[in-house]
A and B are shown apart, each in its own frame.
Chain A
Amino acid sequence: MANRVFVTGIGIICAIGNNAGETLASLQTNRSGIQPLTILDTIYRGELPAGEIKLTNEQLAEMAGITDLEMHTRTALLGMIAAGEALKDAGIDPKDSHFRTGISSASTVGGMDRTEINYRNYHQGAPYSNFILTHGCNDHTEKIAVSYGFRDMVTTMSTACSSSANSIMFGTRLIRHGIIDRVLAGGTDALSKFTLNGFNTLMILDKKPCRPFDKNRMGLNLGEGAAFLVLESEKALRDRTPLCELSGFANANDAYHQTASSPDGSGPFLSMSRALESCGLKPCDIDYVNAHGTGTDNNDFTEGIAIERVFGKKIPYVSSTKPFTGHTLGAAGAVEAVISVLSITNSILFPNLNFREKIDELSFEPLKEMVTGIRLKHVLSNSFGFGGNDSTLILSSC
């Protein structure tokens, strides 16, 4: 019999808040973090808005209690801050040897935010520098592991925009099968010129704040952030009250194109359907879908079709919170899982900002206004990545 998995703590830092409390306050007051770029040194300042965290690396290091900035990338600093908050929120110490505790994290940018700055110097013959050691996606996980004392399992996922949904899935599995008792699961990604230029060349960035599920949507806004859930087994929980339960999940491949999703929403349909199957729920049991909803022509149409295929005529509330935070790439799954937890614990649904007119081919509209005082039993969160990697998580109230 598989162990149940509970969420006992959350931590987050993103464009709308340096912690869960600030993030919640912004969500409740429609305060979007999509702003002109001021920290990232890029030629696109003034041209492309993003969900940028308005703190320099020095300020982040101070928040994280780090003194050797040279060995810590922005991605790692964000991760450490969010990890610290989640662990404190859950009230657990990874060093406590009564329980096997691991970390399952994710990133796509890794240390690229630092590497891209130093790369040119390196090629011009600068001596070997320690920044090279911080490049990999795994670096931040190891920094968090060392800093907080994780010993039993340390691992990192990297599957594009579904990365941290997959790392949460992995953490959940470890607990379900009794391999580990507690996992800090989530991910982190910082803004970088690498990704900004890359997405710009794919011509899917909106020069204005994004409009998911809107007929006239023009693309996505990039964002940065880190978020973690503390997941625990029932045994580790003892008599504490959890925030909610991680009750279901699934992953599937769209098998259509390297970056575009299939016109019939095959991959998203499979990940949502199988997530429901994984916890024995029916579509009508879902109260809210936190959509991947990037604001691109392709994703929103495809995800919309897939939602219609899964839910038929009874489509639950749907919103994308990316107009608040931007698309935080590898961290998106975790950022949106934390937002889903905030929805459940506060009985609030957050709106899909900037929506005006529905997509012609779809039958539904996303949520336009915040809804309060709503009891949420089951929330479904989607994260779809390049390479057709599609993941869905289901969180349930306890």
Chain B
Amino acid sequence: MEELIEKLKKEIIQVLNLEEVKPEDIDSDMALFGDGLGLDSIDVLELIVLLQKEYGIKIKDPKEGRRIFTSVRTMAEYILENQNK
């Protein structure tokens, strides 16, 4: 799980162009949206593409995205539950 979380942090930084952020700056339980990392609606969509491209998981409803991407940890948990389904 922790390995996946670290991998996700690097991937998030890369796909969302978070140029000034380092993996160690992202707390695993920190809110990704709103006051945390301050991501927006387009970022949700990019993370949905990331999940499909890297982990083969297809999310149909963008509204689900907000829930899944609450934090890096919830993302990791979702991936582990749904990968290869």
Is A201 part of the contact surface with B, judged by Cβ < 8 Å? yes
Question: Smallest Cβ distance from B45 to chain A, in angstroms?
Answer: 6
Give the size category of A's interface with B.
Answer: under 10
Among B40, B41, B49, which residue has its beta carbon within 8 angstroms of that of A201? B49
B26-54 to A contact mask, C-beta < 8 Å, 1/0: 00000000000000111001001100000
Do A202 and B45 touch (CB < 8 A)? Answer: yes
- Write out the residue numbers on chain B whose beta carbons fall within 8 Å of the beta carbon of A201: 45, 49
**Which A-chain residue is minimally distant from B44 (CB atoms)?**
A203
Q: How many A-B residue pairs have CB under 8 A?
A: 13
Contact between chains at A258 and B42 (CB < 8 Å): yes
Partner of B62, one of A203, A257, A259: A203
Considering the complex, give the chain A residue whose CB is closest to the CB of B60.
Answer: A203
Bits for A243-260, please: 1 = Cβ < 8 Å to B, else 0.
000000000000001111
Chain B min CB distance to A301 (Å): 14
Which residues of A have CB within 8 Å of B48?
Answer: 203
Tell me if A257 and B49 are in contact (CB < 8 A). no
Instruction: Give the residues from 56 to 75 in chain B that come closer than 8 angstroms, CB to CB, to chain A.
Output: 62
Q: How far is the CA of A201 from the CA of B42 in the complex (A)?
A: 10
Kindly provide the distance from the CB of B61 to the nearest chain A CB, expressed in whole angstroms. Answer: 8
Instruction: A336 to B62: give the CA distance in the assembly, Å.
Output: 30
Binding site for B on A (CB under 8 A): 201-203, 257-260
Q: Could you show 13 A-B contacts with beta carbons less than 8 Å apart?
A: A201-B45, A201-B49, A202-B42, A202-B45, A203-B45, A203-B48, A203-B62, A257-B40, A257-B41, A258-B42, A259-B41, A259-B42, A260-B41
